[in-house]
């Protein structure tokens, strides 16, 4: 029997897409914000969110026969890694220390949450509510074009990738001079040398994960929607619960001048990233002793 995911929460975002939006990041999907509004309790951004499904539908902004629209694009997000989670905690700590220095009691305000954006794109149709900032002007983002406001960028300056310390053409050593190699060119036992990862698990990689999609609506009757489902017992982990919709192409037919795209995200739960992954859980000796005594009786 497949493992059960339990209760699933469903949240939606609707965007108006026009030809001018092609090639742009159009909409931010803020899962913790949407869930907080829906459940009327704080769902914090310092989690990874278990995305178990995405539905995308489209309709043109007019309903005359023959009108239609189709769109292709993708949703981008960051999956949780050791380095990315560490970068998030690093930025949270810096913000908490700044607030304390100004006499702000962070934990006493139950409406506050540390909420950096996914990116600092200004062309998105919606803003991130209660976005974190350190200077009161520039919002923090996981990957920001503003160097001093990039959660990953600032953190990575302190985490030097191992592979950057070695030239790309000399990643592997040829070893000792031996009798076998005397008078001949030595080998490093590797062909097609390349750095396939940065060599440092603490680095916050800037490469996005993507979910491509294509949807269409034609003749007022036929609709091709998009449904994304991981394995029924699994989920996609989304760091900080934020995704962005990128429009690759849009086709409008008849009298349509734009299209409405509705994205429905299904979330089966979330888990905190704020703890130390290297900290081992201590078992209680008292419980172990009590268990042994009970067994002996």
What does the pLDDT average to over 258-278? 92
Instruction: Residue 201: name the closest of 77, 91, 80, 90 by CA.
Output: 80
The whole-number pLDDT of residue 164 equals: 60
Answer yes or no: are the C-beta atoms of 244 and 238 closer than 8 Å: no
Q: Which residue has the higher pLDDT, 214 or 164?
A: 214
**Which residues lie across from 240 on neighbouring strands?**
none
Global confidence as pTM: 0.84
Domain ranges for the chain: 9-159+201-272, 165-199
Q: Which residues contact 252 (CB under 8 A, 6 or more apart)?
A: 19, 60, 68, 69, 258, 259
Residues shown for the chain: 297
Instruction: With a cut of 60, say whether residue 285 has pLDDT above it.
Output: no
DSSP state of 258: -
Q: Which two tokens stand for residue 177?
A: 């001079």
Answer yes or no: are the C-beta atoms of 13 and 27 closer than 8 Å: yes
pLDDT band at 182 (very low <50, low <70, confident <90, very high): low
Q: Which two tokens stand for residue 15?
A: 């965007």
Q: Which residues contact 183 (CB under 8 A, 6 or more apart)?
A: none
- Of the ranges 198-207, 235-244, 271-280, the best mean pLDDT one: 235-244
How high does pLDDT run on average in the chain?
A: 86
């Amino acid at each position: 029997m497949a493992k059960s995911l339990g209760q699933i929460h469903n949240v939606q975002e609707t965007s108006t897409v026009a030809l001018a939006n092609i090639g742009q990041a159009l909409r931010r999907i803020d899962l913790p914000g949407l869930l907080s509004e829906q459940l009327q309790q704080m769902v914090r951004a310092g989690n990874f969110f278990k995305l178990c499904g995405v539905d995308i539908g489209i309709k043109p902004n007019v309903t005359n026969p023959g009108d239609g629209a189709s769109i292709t694009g993708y949703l981008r997000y960051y999956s949780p890694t050791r380095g990315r989670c560490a970068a998030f905690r690093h930025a949270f700590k810096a913000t908490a220390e700044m607030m304390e220095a100004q006499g702000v009691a962070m934990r006493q305000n139950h409406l506050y949450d540390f909420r950096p954006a996914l990116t600092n794109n200004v062309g998105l149709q919606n803003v991130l509510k209660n976005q974190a900032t350190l200077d009161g002007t520039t919002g923090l983002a996981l990957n920001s074009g503003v160097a001093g406001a990039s959660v990953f960028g600032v953190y990575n300056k302190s985490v030097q990738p191992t592979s950057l310390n070695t030239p790309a053409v000399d990643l592997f050593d040829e070893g000792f001079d031996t009798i076998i190699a005397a008078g001949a060119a030595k080998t490093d036992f590797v062909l097609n040398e390349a750095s396939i990862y940065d060599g440092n698990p603490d680095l916050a990689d800037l490469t996005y994960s993507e979910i491509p999609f294509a949807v269409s609506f034609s003749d007022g009757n036929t609709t091709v929607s998009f449904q994304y489902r991981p394995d029924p017992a699994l989920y996609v982990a989304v760091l900080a619960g934020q995704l962005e919709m990128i429009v690759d192409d849009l086709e409008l037919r008849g009298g349509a001048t734009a299209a409405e795209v509705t994205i429905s995200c299904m979330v089966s739960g979330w888990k905190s990233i704020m703890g130390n992954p290297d900290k081992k859980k201590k078992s209680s000796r008292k419980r172990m002793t009590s268990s042994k005594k009970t067994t002996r009786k």
